[in-house]
Amino acid sequence: EELKKENRGKTVFEFYFRIRILLNSKFSVYILSVIQEIAFSAALMESGSGYIGPFTTEITLTYRKVFTNIGNAYNPITGIFTAPLKGVYKFNFSVYGHSNPSTPSTVSIVKNGERVAIAHGHQDQGVVNSSKGVVLILEVGDVVYVRLWSERWIYDSESNHNTFSGYLLFPLR
C-alpha cells in the first residue's frame, strides 16, 4: 500500500521499482533500482551506398550506423539486440531494394532463432520497400535480430532506407 501511494501518477519512466525482500519475517529491506531505459535505432551503412546480397545462405544483417543506443542492448558489430531485462518490447524493421525480376528483397525479424515476421518486396521495375513492426515479450538474454534471406538482396545508401529499431514498452516481473 505504501508503494502504491509513493508511485501513484508516475509514468513508467518516472517510476522506480521497489523490491521488498522479507528476511526472517522480522524486518524488510527495500532495494531501489531505476527502470532501465532501453531504445535503439540503426541503419545498415555508416557511409556510401551499395547492395547487400545475394548470398547462398541467410545472413544476419549488421546495422552499423547507430542513431540511438540507450542502454547499449544493441550490438552494431553483430547486429543483435540482447534483452537486458524481462519486458515487452516493440521492434520495427524495413527493407528496401531495387527491383529485379529474379531477385526479391526479403528480410525477417528473428527471436532466439525463430522467424517472427517478414518484410518482402518484389517487382520487375522501380524500387521495392516494406516495413513491419512487432511487439514481443522477452526474457533476460533473449536475442532479436534481422536476417536477409538467401538468394535475396537489398540496397542501402546515405538515405538510410533499411533500418532496425526497438525499445522497451514496459518491464515485466
Q: pLDDT tens digits for 17-44?
A: 443 434 444 443 333 345 579 999 999 9
Residue 109 lies in a domain: yes
Higher pLDDT, 49 or 103: 49
Residue 1 lies in a domain: no
Task: With a cut of 80, say whether residue 6 has pLDDT above it.
Answer: no
Domains: count for the chain? 1
Burial of 121 (0-12, 13-18, 19+ CB in 10 A): buried
CA distances from 27 to 4, 30, 32, 110, 133 (A): 20, 10, 16, 45, 46
pLDDT band at 8 (very low <50, low <70, confident <90, very high): low
Residue 73 lies in a domain: yes
Q: Over range 113-120, report the average pLDDT.
A: 94
Residue 101 lies in a domain: yes
Residue 23 lies in a domain: no
Residue 33 lies in a domain: no
CATH classification at residue 109: 2.60.120.40
Share of the chain above pLDDT 90, in %: 66
Residue 100 lies in a domain: yes
What does the H/E/C string look like for the chain?
A: CHHHHHHCCCCCCCCEEEEEEEECCCEEEEEEEECCCCEEEEECCCCCCEEECCCCCCEECCCCEEEEEECCCEECCCCEEECCCCEEEEEEEEEEEECCCCCCEEEEEEECCEEEEEEEECCCCCEEEEEEEEEEEECCCCEEEEEECCCCCEEECCCCCCEEEEEEEEECC
Task: With a cut of 90, say whether residue 15 has pLDDT above it.
Answer: no
Structural domain boundaries, residue 165: 38-171
Q: Are 110 and 51 in contact, with CB atoms under 8 Å apart? A: no
pLDDT at 123: 73
pLDDT at 126: 74
pLDDT at 14: 43
Task: With a cut of 90, say whether residue 146 has pLDDT above it.
Answer: yes
Residue 27 lies in a domain: no
Q: Over range 136-154, report the average pLDDT.
A: 97
Task: Write out pLDDT tens, residues 39-81.
Answer: 999 999 999 999 999 999 999 999 999 999 999 999 999 999 9
Task: With a cut of 60, say whether residue 129 has pLDDT above it.
Answer: yes
pLDDT at 24: 42
